[in-house]
Structure 1
Amino acid sequence: MEESAVAKPRRRRAAAAAATNSTTTTVATADRPTPEPGGGVEDVGLEGEGCDAEAWEMLTASFRRVQSVLDRNRALISQVNENHQSKVPDNIAKNVALISEINGNISKVLSIYSDLSIDFSEVVHQRRALQNGAGGRNGEKLESSGA
């Protein structure tokens, strides 16, 4: 069985994410709203309207990864500010490594969004090809009226 166009890059990125996320910590923030319990695709009202669960899953996973990296950057920036305000030479010297990590995290976010753009584009093209090939709605083949 052939892998879908989305599965190959997803598997590659999942392995890379597992390797890089082992050192990343998540920081809880009080200023971000907490999602409502059970907040899934069905709550959005898209289930019966041609919603592609695989596409939503891909978007959701990518946005969660981005948010995790941004939360980490928020904590790092806070630490850089504290170190800077302390004016202790050792603390200020630590900022070099912290700022370097922030810069690396920005590159991660860029990479996640780039991968998401490519994957989403592939899913859209794949779905259009299926629809055009099937000639009908939701992948159903149209029957000819052979009169």
Structure 2
Amino acid sequence: MNSLDSSSLESTMDTATAYKNNRSSKLKRQRPHLIDTVSDCEEEGDSQVWETLDRNFRHVQSVLDRNRVLIQQVNENHQSKTPDNMVKNVALIQELNGNISKVVSLYSDLNANFSTAFHQHSKNGTANGK
């Protein structure tokens, strides 16, 4: 769980932003005459992709944060060893299980969205003679 904390998410988003900024400056250096047409279209498309990725990463992070709270509650209930708390753990563990499935689904969607955007971007780049 530690590998998916908020600092790793921020690092991933910082890397993605750095890539986007580097790509944009490289395009401006290589093809300054295309800046007004191609770059404007790409920037709008890129910003939509980054906004979608950002929104999805934030959703994943909120589910992971909820899971952290659930795990703490399960541990506290388990340590108390009272029958009532043990019964509560059943529902908490069921919620955890559902959240794990949700995270898997969200990451699958992220992968599909990113892959589609990447291939679309590559196809557009080839069509524009890059």
Partner of 1:139: none
**How many angstroms apart in 2 are the aligned matches of 1:106 and 1:115?**
14
Name which of 99, 104, 107 aligns with 2:93. 99
Change in Cα spacing, 1:89 to 1:104, as seen in structure 2 (3 Å) is: same
- Count residues with an aligned counterpart: 102
Take 1:48 and 1:82, find their aligned partners in 2: how far apart are those partners?
47
Does structure 1 retain, via aligned residues, the 8 Å contact 2:70–2:96?
yes
Q: Which has the larger share of helix?
A: 2
TM-score, normalized by length of structure 1? 0.59
What letter corresponds to residue 93 of structure 1 in structure 2? V
- Matched to 1:135, the amino acid is G
**Change in CA separation of 1:103 and 1:45 when aligned onto 2, cut-off 3 Å:** closer
SS of the residue corresponding to residue 47 of structure 1 reads helix
Task: Let me know the Cα RMSD of the aligned residues.
Answer: 2.8
Whole-Å separation in 2 of the counterparts to 1:130 and 1:73: 40
Match status 1:129 vs 2:103 = no
Equivalent in the alignment of 1:70: 64
Q: 1:122 & 1:87 partners in 2: Cα distance?
A: 49
**Kindly tell me: are residues 122 and 45 of structure 1, through their superposed partners in 2, closer, same or farther at Cα, counting changes over 3 Å?**
closer
1:132 partner amino acid? T
The C-alpha deviation readout for 1:72-118, integer Å capped at 9, x for no partner, is 00000111111111111011011001000000000000000000101
**Aligned counterpart in structure 1 of residue 23 of structure 2, from 49, 54, 60:** 49
> In the TM superposition, what is the alpha-carbon distance from 1:44 to its structure 2 partner?
4.2
The 1-side partners of 2:21 and 2:51 are apart by 13
User: Helix, strand or coil for the counterpart of 2:23?
Assistant: coil
1:142 corresponding residue in structure 2: none
Q: Please report how far the alpha carbon of residue 32 of structure 1 lies from its aligned counterpart in structure 2 after TM superposition.
A: 5.4
Q: Which stretches in structure 1 are left out of the alignment for 5+ residues?
A: 1-30, 34-38, 137-147
Instruction: Give the CA deviation at 1:49.
Output: 2.6
TM-score normalised over the length of structure 2 = 0.67
